[in-house]
Structure 1
């Protein structure tokens, strides 16, 4: 088992590129919405003072994870052009 391994396989002719691009754009919109919600939560002083530290830390970790996923998705979209 290898963590964080990415393999790129040419899929031209195997998948519908337009359909895949549409799917990725939809996912991008979802990720941006999630990121905005997490950022709003982390920037909310009341949340920061009331929430346990482990909850705040988990939100920060989710922010990093979603940001990384969005970055990879944008790279994939760019490679499709």
Structure 2
């Protein structure tokens, strides 16, 4: 990886973390939509970040069912 690209990604990540921390800790926002760090060159890739501690305690009101879709494993 090119050093300048790595610095750009680190800078982007740092800025994103600062904004997310600010939004999470100073507002009543329950979720934000953020661009994918893995696909910075593809602006069609986005993630929904939920702040679980801010969601309603009764999750069935906004999430009526959960179905298994696969698994995730880090080796």
Q: Is TM more than 0.5 here?
A: no
More relative contact order, 1 or 2 (CA 8 Å, 6+ apart): 1
TM bin, normalised by shorter chain, reads 0.3 to 0.5
Which protein has the bigger strand share?
2
Which protein has the bigger helix share?
1
**TM-score, reference length from structure 2:** 0.39
